[in-house]
Structure 1
């Protein structure tokens, strides 16, 4: 078919001018050429430029890197609580991680705020901590995730967070304040001590400026200064939000806090009143199924003896670099086709033996011989 005469029949697809240009620059795509002129000049790819970087020592040793980003025109915005995937090139390999915006969804300048905790073994977080500066261009995805404020807004809200899990609920609080929300809000945050609390000055400022917002800080190590002390206990909810059973609760934090709060809500048959978001993978239980055998990465012509590690870890230990993001089963960027064999979901324990099915490498381990189209 000639490109100059694209119509084959009355129902045939027409070539758009953009489609014609992209066909001519195949296989790389037009954005690969435009980025040589200006990385932020894109037709299809969504990217973001770092316009401000602030680094803050939060706990005496750990550092929060707060990035302000200017997305390209393709950005559709987000709902408070959702996450985005950020991609960086490290030593020639594209690495992707998920972060929750911390700003209000109503921010007027269209900029995006991410707070990245620099973990000692975090490849992307360490890169951003060391290399992020104004002008750096990052890959960005559209917002995703079901952890978001419902419409219409509930009459009362309990926001519970711990550690780095503060960012999505911080976005919720900022959004509600921007909307002039007048229902009751309790913001309950768990941390080792006051110096471990990100956004503490602004949290106090928002609570002082809005008479419907109560800030409650629970310190698990510091004995003085907090509203509550120790790990989560049901009495904490009764102390700061005695009405929580008739409200909507949003929870994001480390696995221990998440498990404790879920167990309490399940025990009181309030599961439908609790919305949750993981920011760290749950602990991996010891395998309860046979993990002998060999995993074959067919396209790469690589095999690996099964050890009980996740398929993603096995691939990396075998020298492969499959695409991945959150490493906890949220973003689906590590999904690959299992052509044969049996795998186990490390979070649910579910066993799957169907051939030619998609599996998330980060939350599945091999059970016996497994073949992947990777």
Structure 2
């Protein structure tokens, strides 16, 4: 979500300066590639790039392709094939041994349902969403980013001649939380649709405004997560100490659980105040908060659970304490890396194993 927000900000600046733009989207990948379908990059006619569609090897050529799309004011699908070992033929030295399909869409401000409007809808509220990007691998039917479905409302711009089950398919994408490819027909021609699942961003509530919470708040912000810092000490919980946090609150433990949470919310208990942590933990365990992390040794967590009369195996499994992955962390910044890694792995359903030990591909391929 952070990349989408950066693209939206860059588009606003370009529009204000009357600079034309195009959106480049990775819509399909065969084999290995640095970025997967759904990666996006905004290109301005002045050559400014925001976002990324590769590790840097495609951006130079993509800039030229985007400028052509802006000049012609039409969508273009470009294929980069590096399955041939002699990738110097392309002059871009991808080295990923894959085929990458990128759709370039010139953005037209007069079109109120252009791709930027759809991305704005995605970023506007904390809701899971599904986007349809339509293109043709063998023709010219590159309809582009034209449909968005959210759990509570829908926003569509599908041509009347486009007959398909796309809405039902998008609902299935949200239900399964899995991106897929589907085939449809447009003007009696086959069209491929990348139906992308976009999860609501993770929200992290950091209970504790000590110095060790500062790098954690900064790292969460860099990932595009929504960050709330809360502490009972007015001198500690200040915007000056946590400038990147979305909210900084001074509140007692009994008030913290009033903070709105959802299926993508993580609470981190790191106040270094036992009474504050134990009261907050007791309140959180009565909610459906999916992730609760407790800084400190396991014996501290077990003592808190016992004091609360909640020392059960399900609660031991539910609370991540000591919080974080074992990476040998010592400093506040290293501990923050450990915590962020565990939260990311938890919400991604990842196995938390070294990538070199993975048997399957790093990225899960979406189904055809």
- What TM-score do the two structures reach when normalised by structure 1? 0.26
Structure with a larger share of its residues in helix: 2
- What TM-score do the two structures reach when normalised by structure 2? 0.26
